[in-house]
Amino acid sequence: MTLVGWLQILVILAAVVAFAVPLGAYMSKVFAGERTILAPVLGPVERGVHRLAGVDPAREQTWLGYTLGMLAFNAGGFLLLYLLLRLQGVLPLNPQGFPGLSPHLAFNTAVSFVTNTNWQSYGGETTMSHLSQMAGLTVQNFLSAATGMALAVALVRAFARSAAPTVGNFFADMIRATLYVLLPLAIVTGLWQVAMGTPQTLDASVSVETLEGGEQTLALGPVASQLAIKQLGTNGGGFFNANSAHPFENPSPLSNALTIWQMLVVSTALVFAFGRLIGDKRQARAILATMGLLLLAGIGLCYWAESAGTPVLAAAGLDPAGGNMEGKEVRFGLAASALFAAVTTGLSDGAVNAMHGSFTPIGGMVPMVLMMLGEILPGGVGSGLYGILVIAVVAVFVAGLMVGRTPEYLGKKIEAKEMKMAVLAILILPTAILGFSALSAVLPVALSGLGNAGPHGLSEIYYAYTSAAGNNGSAFGGLSANAPWWNTTLGLAMLLGRFAYIVPMMAIAGSLVAKTRLAPSAGTFPTHGPLFVGLLAGIILVLGGLQFFPALALGPIAEQVQMLAGKTF
Amino acid sequence: MAAKAASSSIVRPDLLGRAALDAFAKLNPAALMRNPVIFVTEVVAAVVTVLFLRDLLAGNPLLFTGQITAWLWFTVLFANFAEAIAEGRGRAQADSLRKARTDTVAKRLSDRANRAQWKPVSALDLKVGDHVLVETGDFVPGDGEIVEGIASVNEAAVTGESAPVIREAGGDRSAVTGGTTVVSDWLVVRITAAPGSSFLDRMIALVEGAERQKTPNELALTILLVGMTLIFLVAVVTLTGFSAYAGAAISVPVLVALLVTLIPTTIGGLLSAIGIAGMDRLIRHNVLAMSGRAVEAAGDVDTLLLDKTGTITFGNRMAAEIVAVQGVTDVEAAQIAVQASLADETAEGRSILVLARDAYGIAVPDAQPAGVTFIPFSAATRLSGVDMDGRRIRKGAVDAVRRFVRESAGREVAEPAAFTAAVERIAKSGGTPLGLAENGRFIGVIHLKDVVKPDIKERFAELRRMGIRTVMVTGDNPVTAAAIAGEAGVDDFIAEATPQDKLNYIRNEQRQGRLVAMCGDGTNDAPALAQADVGVAMQTGTQAAREAGNMVDLDSDPTKLIEIVGIGKQLLMTRGSLTTFSIANDVAKYFAIIPALFIAAIPELGVLNVMGLATPESAILSAVIFNALVIVALIPLALKGVPYRAMGAAAVLRRNLLVYGLGGILVPFLGIKLIDLAVSAFGLA
């Protein structure tokens, strides 16, 4: 590790927080339905969309109505995308003449983009037509992120409101999230990416003569427009197979910094918006501090592990001071790769600028664990906030009793109904990850897709299902996932991780919104300040750690200790 | 009640034997289903037992499986034992209560007006609405309302207090409880509770825990524990897949050992004991909670409505100072006040003597001097005093004293400025001025005031630190009320309070999401008692009040509300602390078991054996043993409750998090290591 490396990391994170504060203030206005500076431009557009779609923003929905509206909308989005992908061969804007996708790949991909996962069992430049990329994937990049934001806002309202029947209007919230937050940011940062060298064209490819005199075909397309929302919406699905390691997606260290900033900024700002919406910024700071603490720990561990390198590389005659550069782009280096890996997994983004499977076992375990902790550090756009709020409810329940009152969070009493739903929600991740992984660890049909034997192969399995169920979408590498077993089960894991979590989460919102919001007193469990930060971080680590420790012991931990003993797979 | 005399020790040796037997009786799976974590433990223990028997028949080595099997069953038994001990205390009390309920013969009246006409019937045959005669020496056959008569009643069977109390028809002292005894005189009682549902029956059911249902918070916690059990079930079951992949097959007993050590058996085993012990703590304070819900609500209370009289102030006003007029020294005035009060048997009169002795150093004669005529207080004169040697000394209401001076002198007497000023000052401060005069002369003013109990201000400050607001309820006028409220340090007061005022105040607090506790005894308190989240009715109160409240204080001590809140908080704290401890324990158990599971297949994983446990078998066994023993070790804490101090929530949290969170992580490392040393020393694994 170097000082410059750490400075790089801290400067980028500081830039995120610096912009997230005003953005959060702006977003809190957007979701409170107040007038914002963009109203003169976007107000008429918004009203037009409302008229077209028949949405009356004043008509609020109960949690059930909100949830059903969201499910119906996403089911529609899935169907459209599925059809588009299956039929792309006969549809226009297909300069390379790609055929339609196989049923299992189309299912997997459509689920993947609707659930904000962006797991890609395919290589973009060799599979997807421009139409699929633009009208299919990019559209879902916006809508899945907006869906997440709307859901988070509904849960925040459940805390903020006192004895109210409704949590908002899903369609109005989603339209606002798209129009006022995602579109302007995507336009501005997309143009910046074009300026830094990312292509934006409807051409298929160019042929260039290489230095050796050979000929090379470089795939092109509407890259920048998809790239901006890929990161802003914590989607992470690359235009190209190599994702953010590809020089067109991520040409330079500066674009790398912008890319990391893009992924973090909306989720971070949403936490600040949460503080304003509930009228207590200290609560938001505590949540953000928890996220930051754990994320920094993850970055640090990964950076350390990669800098330490491996005895195997040293034995091969490489300078140990260089660390483990396998699978990393030299233009980014160790620090920016470790930062990217931790951020993309702490965030449920899933873009990668290095191959996580080539990290040292512990370095590669960090992104895996960050996903296993629930994609809440700070998590996907919206999903991170509602995820950590559900965990906070559990944390407050466990520890809150210790102050001698029935637990309450943000002035709402946490009772049997909330616990039931919170428990259902937190059961989803371990069940989906461990359940599918265990099956895949013994079924020959699954094992044939592994790229490595031994504990590394097990890590490939864990990583795939963790990435899917956590709606992250990043890949470990090594796994040949474009096969019926993997496409189908990963698709199911994505659906479970997204919607089976959302329904109980929204049930909590419905139960909380109806409760009277209590004023805090000296006897109230304090949910701001370092004590709560430590508690919440502890619960996240213990809860996540306890679930996955046995599995990890056989995967990356076993691989690390064996690697140190000179054994590789 | 017998409980009052109960020893302060937590676990009574005489109850242990029975509890041990009960622990086996509770193995019945149908009953154990109520406790999902322990139920799962029992199921997997049964599975391992079957495997053990199979090994037995096949002649396989038995030492390891046998020990695991035994300790799994011990885990279940220890959890049952904890519950049985908690229940045992209540049962002992119930037995003594039952003695009071033995079927007595009731004297049923066919005509309530005719006391001569009664028929002996069994108390069990009485119906609601029957009228019975209860005479000296009779047991009161059932709960009822006195319709006629006045009698002294010994209520020791219910309250444990042997001094008889007066019960009479009409007013707030008209309720009688079945099982109590009339010591003198007679009563005609209308039965208000059917046999089997009387107060005593309910008490027996409550202390026995027969009607025990899970309280809301207990239910929520159980859901969390079930969730954690499911999570670990998933983790352990899926581990078979991963270990098969890694070529490190794990035997079923070992998997079961891992599961049982990970699921929250500690809190699962102690949860119901904690709840029962909380109720029991109340009972030992002579408070009966009609439901566990009420005890929990007590911990959550935000606002306490406290009656001024008896809670904040002593029951009576007391003399606080004696102000002399010009020309009279303080000592002279005090002397005259003593003479005026020598024969005054009221509490106020006695307080004047005490004040004169303590503050003015006047020797108070023990007996009334001879040649003195005592003039008792009467509502007409509103004066009392003595006549001696031609001196007529009087004290009383200021107006009455003015009249007395005028009449004694036979003319208008100029009122000394000091007298007027003192009267005004005292009235303004919320006290009661008592004039003092001798013949036609003003002597001074005695300041009678409500004396705030000496330690009450600190209690209220304590409550404030815990985030609880105190509200004083009084019939006094606002000036008086404000003065006392200021002195006692309450946060708010309701002056000239009517029952409706109380009800409105409670409703208003509740609208703002606050939980309110109050106590009351009169029939007109009933609506407010019913409205309050915690309504404590006094045992001496009316039947209506006792039915409206969700707790009954057998000592009829309104101050106890503060203790009730503390008991509620302690109950919740104990639950939270042991839950945290239980979950934190898992960290060490992983470090014991995981390396043991895989070390054969992946020797390098030995680095995770940070405790340096001897062998894989002893590591697993030690974790299981620790897991079982920790339940037993924590039984006293579960029954006694975690130490409770009046501190703000942040301070309490910091402390408990340190003790039970951090402690919960560290203790098992030490415990498992020690057990491992013992296990390997005895060659058990």
Q: What residue ranges do the domains of chain A occupy?
A: 382-564
Is the C-alpha dihedral spanning B392, B394, B400, B401 positive or negative?
A: positive
For the segment B397-414, what is each residue's pLDDT rounded down to a tens digit?
899 999 999 998 888 888
Q: Is B660 on the interface with A (CB under 8 A)?
A: yes
Q: Is B604 on the interface with A (CB under 8 A)?
A: yes
Q: Is A40 on the interface with B (CB under 8 A)?
A: no
Least confident interval from A139-153, B166-180, B498-512, B639-653: B166-180
Q: Which residues of B touch A501 (CB under 8 A)?
A: none
- List strands edge to edge, sheet with B441-452: B313-324, B441-452, B432-438, B391-396, B383-388, B372-375
Under 8 Å between Cβ of B643 and B593: no
Q: Is A505 on the interface with B (CB under 8 A)?
A: no
Half-sphere exposure of A388 (CA within 13 A, CB side): 36
CB atoms within 10 A of CB A26: 21
Of A411, A522, A551, the CB nearest to B649: A522
State whether B223 and A434 contact (CB < 8 Å): no
User: Among residues A256, A197, A196, A204, which one has the least CA distance to residue A231?
Assistant: A256
A417, A517, A554, A567, best to mutate vs chain B, most B CBs in 10 Å: A554
Of B239, B572, B660, the CB nearest to A404: B572
Over range A214-239, report the average pLDDT: 90
State whether A531 and B464 contact (CB < 8 Å): no
Name the band, by pLDDT with cuts 50, 70 and 90, for residue A308.
confident
Of A162, A545, A554, the CB nearest to B598: A554
Of B464, B514, B608, the CB nearest to A522: B464
What pLDDT, on a 0 to 100 scale, did the predictor assign at position B559? Answer: 77
Residue with tokens 């694994």: B685
For the segment A131-152, what is each residue's pLDDT rounded down to a tens digit?
999 999 999 999 999 999 999 9
What pLDDT, on a 0 to 100 scale, did the predictor assign at position A511? Answer: 97
What pLDDT, on a 0 to 100 scale, did the predictor assign at position B11? Answer: 59
| Spatial distance between the Cα atoms of B430 and A62, rounded to a whole number of angstroms | 54
State which of A47-51, A94-98, B185-189 shows the largest mean pLDDT: A47-51
What pLDDT, on a 0 to 100 scale, did the predictor assign at position B283? Answer: 82
Here the tokens at position B408 are 């004694």
State the average pLDDT for chain B: 87
Q: Is B683 left (phi over 0), alpha (psi -120 to 50) or beta?
A: left
CA distance A224 to chain B (A): 42
Over range B409-425, report the average pLDDT: 90
Count of CB contacts below 8 A, A vs B?
226
- In the DSSP assignment, the letter for residue B171 is G
What pLDDT, on a 0 to 100 scale, did the predictor assign at position B7? Answer: 39
Residue B35 has pLDDT above 60, yes or no: yes
State whether B248 and A557 contact (CB < 8 Å): no
Of A518, A521, A531, the CB nearest to B653: A531
More confident residue, B218 or B162: B218
First to last CA, chain B: 52
Q: Is B588 on the interface with A (CB under 8 A)?
A: no
pLDDT > 90 in chain A, percent: 73
Over range A391-403, report the average pLDDT: 89
User: Among residues A176, A503, A490, which one has the least CA distance to residue A350?
Assistant: A490
pLDDT > 90 in chain B, percent: 38
CA distance A459 to chain B (A): 11
Residue B676 has pLDDT above 60, yes or no: yes
CA distances, A482 to each of A101, A104, A115, A127, A488 (Å):
11, 8, 18, 12, 10
Over range A502-509, report the average pLDDT: 97
State the average pLDDT for chain A: 92
CA distance B591 to chain A (A): 10
What pLDDT, on a 0 to 100 scale, did the predictor assign at position A315? Answer: 82
Q: Is A149 on the interface with B (CB under 8 A)?
A: no
| Spatial distance between the Cα atoms of B249 and A474, rounded to a whole number of angstroms | 31
The DSSP string of A439-471 is HHHH-HHHHTT-SS-HHHHHHHHHHHHHHHHTT
For the segment B520-562, what is each residue's pLDDT rounded down to a tens digit?
877 778 888 899 999 998 877 777 888 888 888 887 777 788 8
Name the band, by pLDDT with cuts 50, 70 and 90, for residue B3.
very low
Q: Is B59 left (phi over 0), alpha (psi -120 to 50) or beta?
A: left
CB atoms within 10 A of CB A40: 9
Name the band, by pLDDT with cuts 50, 70 and 90, for residue B1.
very low
Residues of B belonging to the active site: 307
Scan residues 104-133 of B and list those with Cβ closer than 8 Å to A: none
How many residues belong to chain A?
A: 569
Residue A454 has pLDDT above 50, yes or no: yes
Beta strand ranges found along B155-302 (DSSP E): 165-168, 175-176, 181-191, 287-289
Q: Which residues of B touch A422 (CB under 8 A)?
A: 227
| Spatial distance between the Cα atoms of A441 and A456, rounded to a whole number of angstroms | 12
State whether B583 and A551 contact (CB < 8 Å): no
Please classify residue B229 by burial: count the beta carbons closer than 10 Å to its beta carbon, then call 0-12 exposed, 13-18 middle and 19+ buried.
Answer: buried
Spell B462-482 as b/e; 16+ CB within 10 A means b: bbbbbbbbbbbbbebeeebbb
B57-62 contact pairs (CB < 8 A, 24+): none
Q: Is B237 on the interface with A (CB under 8 A)?
A: yes
State which of B156-160, B234-238, B440-444 shows the largest mean pLDDT: B234-238
User: Among residues A212, A193, A105, which one has the least CA distance to residue A484?
Assistant: A105
What pLDDT, on a 0 to 100 scale, did the predictor assign at position B89? Answer: 75
State whether B262 and A546 contact (CB < 8 Å): yes
Scan residues 385-424 of A and list those with Cβ closer than 8 Å to B: 394, 397-406, 411, 414-416, 418-420, 422-424
Over range B336-352, report the average pLDDT: 83
Over range A523-536, report the average pLDDT: 89
Query: What residue of A is the nearest CA neighbor of B594?
Result: A550
Under 8 Å between Cβ of A193 and A224: yes
Decide: helix, strand or coil at residue A234: coil
State whether B234 and A430 contact (CB < 8 Å): yes
CA distance A335 to chain B (A): 28
Residue A66 has pLDDT above 70, yes or no: yes
What pLDDT, on a 0 to 100 scale, did the predictor assign at position B2? Answer: 37
Scan residues 520-549 of A and list those with Cβ closer than 8 Å to B: 521-526, 529, 531, 535, 538, 542, 545-549
State whether B468 and A523 contact (CB < 8 Å): yes
CA distance B478 to chain A (A): 27
Q: Is B638 on the interface with A (CB under 8 A)?
A: no
Here the tokens at position A554 are 């056989």
Q: Which residues of A touch B293 (CB under 8 A)?
A: none
What pLDDT, on a 0 to 100 scale, did the predictor assign at position B364? Answer: 79
Residue B379 has pLDDT above 80, yes or no: no
How many residues belong to chain B?
A: 685
R_g of chain A computed on alpha carbons: 23
CA distance B654 to chain A (A): 7
Q: Which residues of A touch B240 (CB under 8 A)?
A: 438
CA distances, B618 to each of A86, A237, A246, B70, B678 (Å):
58, 49, 53, 15, 10
SS (H, E, C) B626-670: HHHHHHHHHHHHHHHCCCCCCCCHHHHHHHHHHHHHHHHHHHHHH
| Spatial distance between the Cα atoms of B171 and B182, rounded to a whole number of angstroms | 19
CA distance B299 to chain A (A): 5
| Spatial distance between the Cα atoms of B403 and B382, rounded to a whole number of angstroms | 11
State whether B235 and A546 contact (CB < 8 Å): yes
What pLDDT, on a 0 to 100 scale, did the predictor assign at position B677? Answer: 96
Of B223, B230, B595, the CB nearest to A416: B223
pLDDT > 70 in chain B, percent: 96
